[in-house]
Structures are given as C-alpha cells and as structure tokens.
C-alpha cells in the first residue's frame, strides 16, 4: 500500500462522547493522513462506529475537536460534510431498496447533475459514462437495471462501494465493508480499495477480519472501551501481546 501520504487530512483532538454516564469516546486523539489506509480495530463496543458517527456529524461530541483540512467541523451537518469530501458507508448499507442499481449510484451524483445547470447535457453524458465505469469495476454492470432489493448480499455490499466511488470524496470511512463476503468477492473488494488509494483516496476502515486488516492497512488504531490504546505501524500494533489479549479475549467470550 501507499505509505507516502504525510499530510493530515483529518485531525481528532481530545474527543469525548458520553451517553448518560457511559463514556463511549474517551479523550481520543488521532490523525488520519492523506493517501493511506488507517484501520480501526478493537473488540465489540470499543467505540469504533461511534467515532465514525462523530466524524460525520451524526453525533456531536461533548468535548474535543475534529479538524478537516485544518478547519473545525464539529456541529456541521452530515450532508454538508459529505459535500466537503467525507463519505461513509454503514453496516446496514442504507441503500434505496426500490431503486435500481444505476439509480442508487446516480442519487449520489445528483447535486452536480441538474439538467438546468450550464452544460447539463454534456454533464449527463459524463455522468452516464462514469456510472458505467463504476458498474464495471464493481462487477455490477449486468445488474444495472435490477432493484437493490433483489441483489445478493455481496452485490449489495458492492453497490454501497459503488455509491461511495461515485461521490468523488477525498476521504472514505468504511464500516466493515467486507464482512460476510466470500473469497472471490473479498479479493475484488481488496483490489478495488487498493486501486482507489493509488488514485489518492484516503481511507479509514473498521474491520474485524485480521486477514483483511493485514492485507490493507498502512496504519492501525486500536480502540478499547472508548480509549485509543495504540496508533502505529501494523506489525507493531498487531504483535503487541497486551492488545492481542484484549482483542481475542472479546472475540472468544
């Protein structure tokens, strides 16, 4: 993977989030650097998805700050953050089930595709070409006219990826995007992600499968009970016996 990205795109500083008396994000500080894959790992309930929700404006922190390209984004609505270049997938996918595959992708591109804008016809052609290219990359071309509801589980996963690819976002936050995939689908996902990172996309991914973690990560951030316990090179973090005991103790409990 690419290890050349040194610029901090998104900086999390002393972030805290409480639900009642429960501190689900506990003084977390983390830099997400451009052009690499940072993977969030940790046992269930560690606060990984909550951190995504805080970054994307679905939750507001009790304290701390989040800087996107040097500017605070705390309190900014999630749809504005999406337009600013921070895109995100969800474990429950959140597709438009009654829309076709093609329509699901087009909805992501809608703000730049209104026909009454200057160059509308040309933009429409460009948009169609882009959708066709994404469908080819995600192996969904033959499913373009099918409803999202009628897709297989793996196909729905790739439709979620296709939508984020169509967004032109600079940063992707992926919440367990490869969970439940068979081997061939996993290989397709891995190759897709590597290709996009080579093009300059920055990725932060939540993942439980250690094979996937090892295969894609440039950096690993280890969370447990809302605290960031480690942030560093994969070999260093994954070989830490204390972290392994926490991780596998949860997995086998």
| Tens digit of each residue's pLDDT (9 = 90 or more) over 89-106 | 988 888 999 999 999 999
- Of the chain, the percentage scoring pLDDT greater than 90 comes to 67
Please state the φ and ψ torsions of residue 101, each to the nearest 5 degrees: -55, -50
Residue 10, φ and ψ in degrees, nearest 5: -135, 125
Position 91 scores a pLDDT of: 82
DSSP string over 127-150? HHHHHHHHHHHTT-GGGTTSBGGG
Q: What is the pLDDT of residue 250?
A: 52
Quote the pLDDT of residue 100: 96
**pTM (two decimals):** 0.87
What domains appear along the chain, each with residue ranges and CATH number?
A: 1-85+170-183+200-253 (3.40.50.300), 96-168 (no CATH)
Residue 114, pLDDT above cutoff 60: no
C-alpha 74: how far from chain center? 19
Checking if the pLDDT of 249 tops 90, the result is no
Most confident of the ranges 121-130, 152-161, 207-216: 152-161
Tokens of residue 78, six digits: 């999630």
DSSP 151: S
Q: What percent of the chain has pLDDT over 70?
A: 92
Q: Hey, which of 151-155, 178-182, 244-248 has the most confident mean pLDDT?
A: 151-155
Backbone CA torsion sign across 48, 54, 56, 59? positive
The model's confidence at residue 119, banded by pLDDT at 50, 70 and 90, is low
- State the pLDDT at residue 215: 84
Lowest mean pLDDT among 16-20, 85-89, 92-96: 92-96
Kindly tell me the sign of the dihedral angle through the C-alpha atoms of 205, 210, 213, 216: negative
Least reliable range by pLDDT among 68-82, 128-142, 239-253: 239-253
| Nearest by Cα to 93 from 186, 158, 182 | 158
């Amino acid at each position: 993977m690419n290890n050349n990205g040194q610029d901090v795109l998104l900086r999390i500083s002393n972030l805290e989030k409480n639900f009642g008396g429960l501190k689900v994000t506990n003084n977390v500080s983390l830099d997400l650097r451009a052009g690499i894959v940072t993977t969030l790992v940790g046992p269930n309930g560690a606060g990984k998805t909550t951190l995504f929700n805080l970054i994307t404006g679905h939750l507001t922190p009790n304290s701390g700050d989040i800087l996107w390209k040097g500017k605070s984004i705390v309190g900014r609505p999630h749809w504005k953050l999406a337009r600013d270049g921070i895109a995100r997938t969800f474990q429950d996918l959140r597709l438009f089930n009654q829309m076709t595959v093609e329509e699901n992708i087009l909805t992501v591109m809608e703000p730049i595709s209104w026909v009454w804008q200057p160059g509308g016809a040309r933009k429409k052609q460009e948009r169609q070409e882009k959708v066709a290219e994404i469908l080819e990359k995600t192996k969904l071309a033959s499913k373009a006219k099918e409803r999202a509801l009628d897709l297989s589980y793996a196909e729905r996963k790739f439709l979620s990826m296709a939508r984020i690819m169509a967004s032109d976002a600079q940063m992707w936050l992926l919440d367990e995007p490869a969970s439940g995939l068979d081997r061939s689908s996993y290989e397709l996902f891995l190759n897709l992600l590597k290709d996009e990172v080579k093009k300059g996309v920055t990725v932060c991914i939540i993942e439980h499968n250690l094979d996937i973690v090892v295969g894609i990560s440039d950096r690993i951030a280890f969370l447990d009970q809302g605290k960031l316990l480690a942030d560093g090179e994969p070999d260093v973090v994954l070989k830490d016996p204390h972290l392994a005991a926490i991780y596998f103790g949860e997995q086998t409990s």
